[in-house]
Amino acid sequence: MTQRRLARELKIPVVPGTEEPVSSPAEAVPAVLKLGLPVVVRPVASNLHCSRLINKEKDIEYQVRMCQAEVRAHNATEQVYLERYLPRTRPVDVLVIFSQPVAEWEVGFYHREQDLLVFSPANLSGNLRSRLYRWSRLLAEQLQFQGVLVVRFLIDEDNTPYFLQLSGELSPWHPLAEIITGMDIVAGQLKVAAGENAGIVPADQGIRALAAGIRAEDPGADFEPSTGIVSELLLPGGPHLRVESYIYPGYEILGEYDLLLVNLFSWGADLETAVRRLLRGFAELNFGSIRTNIELLSTVLHHPHFGQPGRSIFF
């Protein structure tokens, strides 16, 4: 809520929604009717992914209570807020380092509130990219933020941008920015902490980078967690591939924790080359008996709409 208020004060468009937190289903009903269905219920605690979609008036109480129950499970405040649901939007993140936007990436495919395929740079016109960068710089300067900031926008089917949220955490997709700029973002943070220049480098628009989040999910069981021991492990190698993972042979995957196994990155002169190299990396991966979402990701990568301007893939 604080982020939304700040964006409005800076004249940055935000997704239409409630200006104050909602504490109960009774408070939510008039707010939903004012916004107009469908709406999304989100926790005030911005670090939680417990959103709920309300399509019908009769579902308001149930969905608000379910969102609050999920929030309680994380020991956070039960307060939620409501936003108008914008269908077919493209999430675009702008990476800001010490108040200077350096790169951006676009979520090309997400599944069950998880970003799974992400590419950089995003499909943006020069004018739209300039606006997003200017707004991101304004937010960082207003916050006097010294570090790495990720600002997320939603781009609708008419290419209208809306501020969604910002995060001071180092994004798992930050290697995309490192690939297209050649800089080491973590090393840059340490340099600034030591009073040195971060050595910020502008993004090279001649490079296309791609990332995939590979999760321990069983596609044959409605993507339920695929648990057990990683009896075998083979990670891909070779040029134009980067692997970020904590998995090791003998690691036990438990359904109660994050199911992410690997973030795999590829790059090339164009998106088609990056896709081909990522698929090569998929073919080399082996987690033994653990099932993954690689088949789903491969299907999306072969979809003719993937990575095309103004198009997102929804499953």
Q: Residue 95: exposed, middle, or buried by beta-carbon count in 10 A (0-12, 13-18, 19+)?
A: buried
* Domain end marker among 55, 84, 113: 84
Angle at 206 between CA 202 and CA 211, to 5 degrees: 85
* Domain end marker among 34, 60, 84: 84
CATH (domain of 268): 3.30.470.20
76-101: pLDDT as tens digits: 778 899 999 998 899 999 999 888 89
277-298: pLDDT as tens digits: 999 999 999 999 999 999 999 9
Closest by CA position to 286, among listed 238, 236, 237: 236
pTM of the model: 0.91
101 pairs with which residues across the strands? 96
Domain count of the fold of the chain? 2
8: its two tokens: 């409005």
Contacts of 284 (CB under 8 A, 6+ apart): 234, 235, 236, 237
Co-location of 163 and 132 in the same domain: yes
Scanning the chain, the segments in alpha helix (DSSP H) are 2-9, 25-35, 60-73, 126-143, 174-181, 185-193, 271-284, 294-301
Which has the higher per-residue pLDDT, 260 or 193?
260
Q: Mean pLDDT over residues 257-263, rounded? A: 93
* Domain end marker among 56, 84, 112: 84
CATH (domain of 21): 3.30.1490.20
Co-location of 255 and 225 in the same domain: yes
Co-location of 129 and 6 in the same domain: no
Q: Mean pLDDT over residues 10-31, rounded? A: 92
CA 102 – CA 293 distance, rounded (Å)? 31
| Helices H / strands E in the chain, number of each | 8, 16
Domain that holds residue 7: 2-84
Q: Mean pLDDT over residues 254-266, rounded? A: 93
Closest by CA position to 105, among listed 132, 81, 80, 87: 132
Q: What is the pLDDT of residue 315?
A: 52
